[in-house]
Every structure is written in C-alpha cells, then in structure tokens.
Chain A
Amino acid sequence: MSVTAAPAIGTFNPRDLLRAQVKWRHLETLFWLATLLPFLVAPSYLVLGSQIAIAALFALSLDLIVGYSGLVSLGHAAFFGFGAYTAGLLAKAGWGEPITGLMAAAIAAMVLGYLTSFIIVRISHFALIMVTLGLCLLLYEVANKAHWLTGGDDGLQGVRMWPLLDMFRFDLYGRTAYAYSLVVLFGSFLILRRLINSPFGLSLRGIRENARRMPAIGSPSSNRIRTVYIISGTFAGIAGGLLAQTTEFVALDALSFQRSAEILVMLVLGGAGRLYGGLVGALIFIVARDQLADMNPQYWYFWLGLLLIAVIVFLPNGILGGCARLLARWRRRA
C-alpha cells in the first residue's frame, strides 16, 4: 500500500456518501406513475403522449453525450432517422413484428455509431459540432436521393405493423402506441440510469469535468467516448424505430437538421446532465408546440425562441436545474 491505513471508520461507511446520489427517490416513482395518467384523464392525447415518450427517449440518449460526457452533437438525428428507416423498411418488406423490428433498428444504429465513432474521437468542440452535423446532412441527402428505397421526400409509405405481442393492434387512438412507447422508454431509462450511476458513468462525468486530467489518472478516455457515443446512438435508433412503428410512416425529416436541433433544444430546456432533463424538456416542448400551434401556427417559433432565451438566461441549468435550486433554497429555510 502506498498510503497508511485509513483511521478507524467505525459504523460510518464512506460508500453511504455515494449511495445517496443513486437512491431511487419518491419523486421518481411519482413521475413514472404520472405517465400512466393519460390513459385515464386524457385518452384523446395518447397519440401526442406517444410522440412525447419517443422524443423523451431521443433526448435521453443525447443527454449521455451532451449532459454527461460534455461533448456536443448537432447531428443526433442521423441515428434517429437511421433507426426509423430500418424499422420502417423491415415492416414494409413484410416483417411487421414490432419488438424484433425495434431490435433491428437498435442494431443498425449501433453499427452506424461504431463506424462513425472512429472519426468522433479524433475531434472536439467546434469541429465535433460540424462533423456530427455533416454526417446527419449526408445521410439526409442519401435518403432523399434513394427515392426507390425510402420514398424520398414523400416519405416511406406502406409500413404495416403486426399486433404487438400478437395481441394488441396499433389502434387509431394511440393506446397501443403510447403503452408500447412508454414501456420502451421506461426500460431504456432504467438501463441508462444504471449506466450513469456506474463507474463508467463516473468516468464520463470525469471527461466532462476535465478531459485533460483523465489520461493522467490512467483513463483511456477515447475508448470511453467511443463507447458512450455508440450507446447513445443505439438508443436514438430505438427512438427512431419507435416513431416509424407507431406512426407506420417515416418522413424524410426524421434525418433532418431541424430534428437534431430540436432535440438539443428539448434537452437544454429541461436541463442537460440530470437524467430527467430530456424527459421534462420533451414534455414541455411538445405540449407547448401543440398548444401554441393551435392558437397561432405561424408564430410557434417566436414563442419557442422566447422560451429558450428566457430559460438560458435565467435558468442556465435548464428547468430542472432551476427547480433543484428552488428546492435547495426552500430546504435551507425550513
């Protein structure tokens, strides 16, 4: 041992200090129970709910890169769209089984992540923004050109899904779609929550906090970056696959720059690096778009811009970051 033994610790165990952070909170149980409410109180919003769940999963996947590892991506829709086209094309070709189709989307996105990860680890900052954006634009134009395969800007028509588990048909009211999206979101969330609270998750935060120090503590950080990039891409692909399956359609804009930018906006609104930030951001963004677009379709981006500026200026850690600060202040007073 290079250090003398620690002083007598007694009943105190230092791991309790770290356990507090990973503990499942009551608020979390409440949050997930609340996701079931739409079935009871707002059955006409289940289609919207499914869109929110899908965007939430997509934002969650981006949070691994942006919030936890401190990297940037302006092209995450590449994985989302790739997963969407994989699931959509598979169903169109005659294999409409949802779960295996979703796995195919995940694997396809994983392979795309693996291939592009070689470039990603070589660059950082501004160059990374440009390269991720470039990859996304490139795929968009490929999909646009391959009209025979993807339907180009008409979108991919003729996607027919089989009933989920051979029992639940994808109905018009979005009941199956919402339940399916929610289960996939929750399952993915549990996996990613574990990942964030693991030693690997800690090393990601280390990269975010000080990439320069990581090699000096013996961390092969470029391997870590590649791994998280591939995992993040995989979950984005699952989100894309879900969209294709639940809407039985793939629009070209699944691969668009706008999709990449919007998901980043949702994450930043909710609060990056807090696990629930993407979920809350997706909820607020999509509900607000739905409500505001009903009132005033042309001006939706005006309000979005205003909201974004207000959040960035007054709540630099997003809406959840602001809530956490309020809560801390309130606790101190109590």
Chain B
Amino acid sequence: MSTPALATRALDKNFASLVVARGIEISLPKGARHALIGPNGAGKTTLINLITGMVRPDGGQILLDGDDITGLEPAARVKRGLVRTFQINTLFPNLSALEAVTLAVCERRGEAGTWWRSLPTYNAAIEEAYGILATLMLAADCERPTRQLAYGQQRLLEIALALAARPKVLLLDEPAAGVPKDESGELFKAVAGISSDITVLFIEHDMELVFRFATRIIVMVSGAILVEGTPAEIAANQRVRDVYLGQAHHG
C-alpha cells in the first residue's frame, strides 16, 4: 500500500474537561474525496484545526505524505501542501479578489517578502491568480473589494485562496456553509472541479451533497470517530442512523 497523503495517529485534545478529540485515526489515500460528517459539536472543525496546526494536540501524530508534521507551524504546513478553507469567511475585506489571490500565489512562490520590486512586475503570479479566479467564475468581479462581493462569491474566494497555495491535501470546512440550499450544488460543482491530484477532505451537513461527492465518509461523534465507510455502508449503518435520526430516542 502506498503512503497515505494525510494520516493522523491517536490524536487527542481536551479543552479543560471537554474532550474534543479522542484517539482520532484517519488515513486519506492520494486523490481521495472523503467527507467528514457528524452532529454539531462532534469536533469536526477542531479536527481540521488540529491537522492544520491552528490548535496543538495534547497527544498523537499528524503525518503528511508519511512525514511527521505535528510540530510544524501552520504556515509551514501550508508550504508543504496542507491547506484549508474556513467555515466562516476568513477573507481580506478591503483587498480585491485579484489582490488576495495574487498575495497567496506570491506567498507560495516565496516572493511575498520582496519589498523593492513593484507588484505589477510579477506577471506570472498575477496571471496565475487571475486564472484561478477565472475557473471559479470570479474573473469579472476580481477588481472589486472582497467585502462588496456576494456571499456565494466570497465562499468561492475561500476556495480560490486555498488553490493558490497549490495544495496536495485540501481540507474544506463546510464550503457551502450559509449558502441557500438551491445554490449549494453550484458551489459543489467548483469542489468537483478540483484536480483529482489533490486529496480532499470536506465537512458538510447536507447529506445529498455528501453522498454525491464523497467516495468515503467518516462519521464523528463527541470527539471520536464512530465509523468510516463507503456512502452505501454509512447509509446502512444502524449506529449512524441512531446518531442522526435517533437523538430523540437516545442513540
């Protein structure tokens, strides 16, 4: 078996007496499309925070392409190709979409520390940024400040910023969060368009979308993994049904 693109081993995290991660073991093969589901407060976003280094685990290991990255700073993980998006828009309100994505491209190329050259001379970086925006249908509005973009466009910009880092592993925290149900399919078309070289783990509550886009599903409950399997297996799993349908009759 080849090395998984991303794996965690016995990841633990407590906030005081609250257990938010308990012995989390996941393994994503290269090019995977895994969904992470679970009721509110199950610890899904915390898991992404742990994997990306925004929260430090109490114990356990995170392996990116077989390398232990548990001790690396968040920015260093991004440099190695582990990139995330945010459930709540975490954008640059007064930068234009083009500026924001150009910034992310410059960071990846190691050029964002240069202060003696004018930005417009970075032709390749700007064209790459524009190209990313064009594939996400943002080219026409790329000059407008982010805060003026429609909410759905801002969700796409979240993905554009992540793609600018040329991820190997992409963690999408509810890419369609807050988008009306009839438009969330549109957003997931952008997710479906992501190159198959990129390994994707996404959190999503809409089961229809999960079953359409995920090849495997990981179910989390109270900081631990309940079960992992193919969509068909998860759909048939009694314990998952209990958690989702049976909170009333105590699962």
Q: Which A residues contact B (CB, under 8 angstroms)?
A: 1-7, 9, 13-19, 22, 194-195, 197-203, 205-206, 209-210, 212-221, 223-224, 227, 231
CA of A158 to CA of B3, assembled, Å: 73
Beta-carbon contact of A216 and B119 below 8 Å: no
Chain B residues 71 to 113 lying within 8 A of chain A, measured CB to CB, are 73-75, 78-79, 83-84, 86, 90-96, 98-100, 102-104, 106-108, 111-113
Is the CB–CB distance between B75 and A206 below 8 Å? no
Instruction: Provide the B14-54 mask, 1 if CB < 8 A to any CB of A, else 0.
Output: 00000000000000000000000000000000000000101
Task: Identify the closest chain A residue to B165 (Cβ).
Answer: A218
Q: When each residue 104-138 of chain B gets 1 if its CB lies under 8 Å from chain A and 0 otherwise, what string results?
A: 10111001111111111011011101111011000
| Contacting pair B75 A209 (CB below 8 A) | no
Given A14-B98, A194-B118, A215-B75, A3-B132 contact (CB < 8 Å): yes
Give chain B nearest CB distance to A316 CB in angstroms: 14
Contact A210 B135 (CB under 8 A): no
The smallest beta-carbon distance between B69 and chain A, in angstroms, is 14
| Interface pick from B181-189, B191-199, B210-218, B231-239 | B191-199
Q: Which residues of A contact B95 (CB under 8 A)?
A: 202, 205-206, 209
Q: Specify which chain A residues have a CB less than 8 angstroms from the CB of B113 in the assembled complex.
A: 199-200, 203, 223-224, 227
**Given A6-B134, A14-B129, A202 and B99 contact (CB-CB distance below 8 Å):** yes
Enumerate 20 A-B pairs (CB-CB under 8 Å) in ascending A order. A1-B195, A4-B193, A6-B127, A13-B123, A14-B126, A198-B117, A199-B125, A202-B106, A206-B92, A209-B95, A210-B93, A213-B91, A216-B52, A216-B86, A216-B90, A217-B107, A217-B165, A218-B75, A218-B108, A220-B75
A220 to B74, CA, bound (A): 9
User: Min CB distance, B80 to chain A, in Å?
Assistant: 9
Are A210 and B120 interface neighbours, CB within 8 A?
A: no
**Assembly CA distance A195 to B90 (angstroms):** 26
- Decide: A22 and B131 in contact? CB cutoff 8 A: no
Complex contact B130–A219 (CB within 8 A): no
- Asked whether A218 lies within 8 Å of B115 as measured between CB atoms, the reply is no
In addition to A199-B125, A200-B113, A218-B165, 13 A-B residue pairs with Cβ atoms within 8 Å of each other are A3-B132, A3-B163, A17-B98, A18-B98, A198-B116, A198-B117, A199-B117, A202-B103, A205-B99, A206-B92, A216-B54, A218-B83, A227-B113
Q: Does B205 contact A (CB under 8 A)?
A: no
Chain A interface mostly = helix
Q: A17 — nearest CB in chain B belongs to which residue?
A: B143
Residue B220 lies at the interface, judged by CB distance under 8 Å to chain A = no
User: Nearest chain-B residue to A203 (Cβ)?
Assistant: B112
Candidate in A3, A195, A199, A203 with the most chain B CB atoms within 10 angstroms: A199
Which one of B104, B111, B123, B198 lies within 8 Å of A217 (CB-CB)? B104
Query: Are B103 and A217 touching (Cβ within 8 A)?
Result: yes
